[in-house]
Amino acid sequence: MTKITSTKSETIKRLKRLMTKKGRQESGQFLVEGEHLVDEAIRAGRLVQLIMGESYRPKSSWRLDEMPVLELSDHVADLLSETEKTQGVFAVVKMTPVERKMKHVLVLDRIQDPGNLGTMIRTADAAGFDTVFLGKGTVDPFNAKVVRATQGSLFHVNIQSVDLLETLPELKSLGFHVYGTALSKAKSYDQVAFNDQVALVIGNEAQGVHDDVLALCDTRVHIPVIGEAESLNAAVAAGILMYRIALQ
């Protein structure tokens, strides 16, 4: 097991590059932090390297003799942390897409808040959605805040960045019915009989679904607001609609 004690190590510089979008794209890898996410990466077969601070005690189920392990002095491990109090365990993980047969697809148009995106991916996984398509302008799904918010669901769902103006017609040609969220000319979600093959489009937190994308939707749906709130949070709306589709 290699141990690094210097903050100026080239290995540390390489790992810190994974904390940037450019570094992740160039390497095809990203960094996860915390025991739960590391465990999910190991179980998904996506681990490239396990990284532990010297004070961390690994789970007994991890077969350390079968994986590349890097040990860091605790003060060096702190450089990789993006949380207030680190557990001292990280992993370099492959960006390999999850292969799933498409049936229920969540389509996201310019979602910008990392917490919202991570929550939507986690909820999609919980509701049995197999695929999440990310349109241009959507936050990087391998951003540390997004990864933490998914709680490991990004290892279970097929996540791809796509051009929605090309992808939605392709989905329709495969028999998918495309539902887009909208405030005007839309049916209340509880009055809609959703098809078996569904693509659900959720739009930008402030602007909603772009007009060009909405024009490609077969049916517009909305969730009525009963109280005084102006609207629902995008991730909450996505969760309500995904579970409606899953449980109907």
pLDDT of 149 above 80: yes
8 Å CB contact between 15 and 92: yes
Percent of the chain scoring above 70 in pLDDT: 100
Strands 198-202 and 104-108 come out as parallel
pTM of the model: 0.96
pLDDT of 28 above 90: yes
Confidence (pLDDT) at 2: 79
The CATH code belonging to domain 104-247 is 3.40.1280.10
Task: Count CB-CB contacts under 10 A for residue 71.
Answer: 17
63, 38, 131, 19: CA torsion to nearest 10: -130
Mean pLDDT of the chain: 97
pLDDT of 214 above 80: yes
The CATH code belonging to domain 2-94 is 3.30.1330.30
Average pLDDT rounded to a whole number, residues 115-132: 98
Q: Which amino acid is at 143?
A: N
Could you tell me the strand order of the sheet in which 89-94 lies? 2-4, 69-72, 47-53, 89-94, 29-33
pLDDT of 1 above 80: no
Domain definitions of the chain by residue range: 2-94, 104-247
